[in-house]
Chains A and B, each alone.
Chain A
Amino acid sequence: MANIRTMTFDAVIVGGGGSGMRAALQLSQSGYKTAVITKVFPTRSHTVSAQGGITCAIASDDPNDKWQWHMYDTVKGADFIGDQEAIEYMCQTGPEAIFELEHMGLPFSRTEEGRIYQRPFGGQSKDFGKGGQAARTCAAADRTGHALLHTLYQGNLKNETTFLNEWFAVDIVKNSDNAVVGVVALNIETGETVYVKSKATVFATGGAGRIYASTTNAHICTGDGIGMTLRAGFPVQDIEMWQFHPTGIHGAGTLVTEGCRGEGGYLVNKDGERFMERYAPNAKDLAGRDVVARSMVLEILEGRGCGPDGDHVYLKLDHLGEETLNAKLPGILELSRTFAHADPVKEPIPVVPTCHYMMGGIPTNVNGQALTVDDDGNDHVIEGFYACGEAACVSVHGANRLGGNSLLDLVVFGRASGMFIEQQLREGIDLKDASEADIEAAMVGLNQLNDSTGGENASVLRAELQTIMQNYFGVFRRGDFMQEGIAKLAALRPRIKNVALGDKSNAFNTSRIEALELQNLFEVAEATAITAEARTESRGAHAREDFQERDDVNWLCHSVFFPSDKRVGKRSVNFKLKTREAFEPSIRTY
């Protein structure tokens, strides 16, 4: 008997970051009984760490800016496997979503005219790549994520959203129709396990950067939603596509915003050479992130890295002057002084490409409805199941995300999911109730963990997992290495399944949470590894030494990883725009 309490809501959002809170806000505003399950207090979610801004054609810096130009840049940045319908929707509705945030009180920086301040960011152009660099990234100094996340939390307080703070979603509950009817969740403070029943379950669980040893991501970015999705037997898409941000602080991994280069900073090697001029003669330091990250790694591999071990390069900012740095990049000054022991006013910051963002995720349509794909390549909606934000792959980032597009993605599609569910609830959602056995099925993993007796330490296993991913699935990849990595992961699976839980306490037991997170990390890592090995080409962030060219004949498509038989399938990219002809794939240069 699944002898646990049931809590019932119209909609339940798993994840209290930007996309989750935007979806929740939409539903609470319409009076639907909405709960947010979040493993940390909402403002501790990783959205808070976003720095440089939110890219959107609001025509403040340039009154003639067009959302179509932003759309072009995003399609190109994605190396042509972003769904153009979704990109069109994001770029077109973006301004509305940004103005709503401003009306909610988001403290954007301002121009002299009193409009929202916009700064240049990588991959942004005017006039479909022909009009030079665009300044399109809306910013609140270099604390845009913090400002955005707090504003959304405040909006939810105003609209009385129910928050289940410090609750951890364990697994998906499916009914006999294979529809999603809620989750089993654990109250971290008391250890109580509850079935949270809902007509609509939205996964806004964020990324999983902690699969890598070196990451800009918070400790909490453990891919819980992806883990639950795969355990429920549903597929994930483009999961091999991981962004390495060019400027993580060497050693610490903490992020240094692309806004630094947007404001005029640039990268130099040990000879003091501004090397990006060689790799990207036009955009230079503001080329796509994948391009800049690879260039940096090549500089290091070819012996032009900085420091005693030649294992990083420098980001130079001092020429911008103290006043500009204080006004535009105050958070960066603080982070660099704390974690790099370097004062950017006087000296460069040591930086290295660092795992930053998961382009892949749960495949969805523009309404946030989660999808699965049949053997003939047809999409099918998974009833009751939605995803948005980094956990989702809608897909607007394709093989490489542009800076500033993650915040736009989470606001636009958090909102779109909320609006669609609102409409569905109005029309009436009729899903079969879960049986006792259905609920019990979602508790198997947790029960196993609680009953464990032997096993190895979670922290040790996690470090092993992260090292495998870092060594075999990093910026550059090679088939034989990846096969070795996959074998190592296979050997790790039973050890992680058998992870030790020495502490069986019910009071704020973080060991239990870390063990569950580790199992989620593993699912993401394995899906990444197998899919990366299968994609025999180089595209966007996926760079293979053994297949150096982009292969549009075979791989101008999404990868889809099916967990039941660990198979990699393909899904067509959407080229059907509503307002114009699609952008045809072309050679991607900056």
Chain B
Amino acid sequence: MLNVSIYRYNPEVDSEPYMQDFEFDTQGKDIMVLDVLEKLKIQDPTLVFRRSCREGVCGSDGMNISGKNGLACVTPLSEAVKKNNLVIRPLPGLPVIRDLVIDMSQFYAQYEKIQPYMINNTPAPAIERLQSQEERAKLDGLYECILCACCSTACPSFWWNPDKFIGPSGLLQAYRFLADSRDTATEARLANLDDPFSVFRCHGIMNCVQVCPKGLNPTKAIGHIRDMLIRTAT
């Protein structure tokens, strides 16, 4: 039997959070962590977590799995179980609403701050705006972000300054628009980020890269933004 230890907290009944242990029969199968949670919820319907697509594209079920942030639906037990223990906690650093569900308002607020939409006020052509394959290739590794918050909640700089440091996810998206040949607001975007906190709190710890379930590299994108900021300053 697998020992599953889960962070529990219901603000209506619990004065403080606690870890609850469950016994779980995997029947020898290497299933996903989300499958375990779904089965445990039949046993204990008060267990609360978010989930939607169950295939790693919607970003609902980011959680801390045996010490590492990841998506429950694409993390198999073979990667997550250590010495027959599976420990599941909410993503760290943001307020917990209940059990594994965190309040992501601060995370979303940072995303909104970078103006995550195309800005191009030139008259649009009757067809699409043309973009070369090389220009489009610059967006690969950027647009795929699923806003799961695994990266930002693994980042010590974000833990310390969640209100001022944009965080890896927001900055990856900031660079996605800076890198887009169709966007014309580069200067304004850079000005918006040009302060000691928004970008420069990144200390290159690279936790974000390590945990991103989509294999994206926010640190690299942040490096590009830094270069652009330094270039405009000189």
Contact = CB atoms under 8 A, between A and B. Distances in A.
A505 B10 contact: yes
B48 A107 contact: no
Interface in A129-165: 140, 143, 146-147, 150, 154-155, 157-158
A105 interface: yes
A252 B124 CA distance: 43
Given A48-B58, A95-B127, 5 more contacts: A252-B55, A457-B45, A459-B41, A459-B42, A500-B45
Centre residue among B57, B104, B133, B135 by max chain A CB count within 10 A: B57
A144 B108 CA distance: 23
Contacts of A503: 45-46
Contact of A116 (B76, B128, B144): B128
Contact of A218 (B54, B130, B143): B54
Interface of B: 10-13, 38, 41-42, 45-46, 48-60, 74, 76, 97-99, 101, 104, 108, 112, 115-118, 120, 124, 126-133, 135-136, 139, 143-144, 146-147, 177, 180, 182-183
B52 A46 contact: yes
A82 to B, nearest CB: 27
Contact of B56 (A40, A108, A334, A511): A334
A347 to B, nearest CB: 18
Contacts of B45: 457-459, 500, 502-503, 511
A323 interface: no
Contact of B117 (A48, A95, A105, A107): A105
B42 A457 contact: yes
Contacts of B129: 102-103
Given A146-B144, A218-B52, A114 B118 contact: no
A49 interface: yes
B179 to A, nearest CB: 10
A189 interface: yes
Interface of A: 40-41, 43-46, 48-49, 58, 95, 98-99, 102-105, 107-116, 140, 143, 146-147, 150, 154-155, 157-158, 189, 218-220, 252, 254-255, 331, 334-335, 338-339, 457-460, 500, 502-503, 505-511
Contacts of A220: 52
Q: What are the 4 A-B residue pairs with the smallest beta carbon separation, nearest first? A: A105-B118, A114-B130, A154-B117, A102-B128
B180 A508 contact: no
A154 B127 CA distance: 21
B60 A44 contact: yes
Nearest to A150: B143
20 contacts: A46-B53, A48-B146, A49-B55, A103-B124, A107-B139, A110-B135, A110-B136, A143-B144, A154-B118, A157-B112, A157-B117, A189-B97, A218-B52, A218-B58, A219-B54, A220-B52, A255-B55, A335-B56, A505-B12, A505-B98
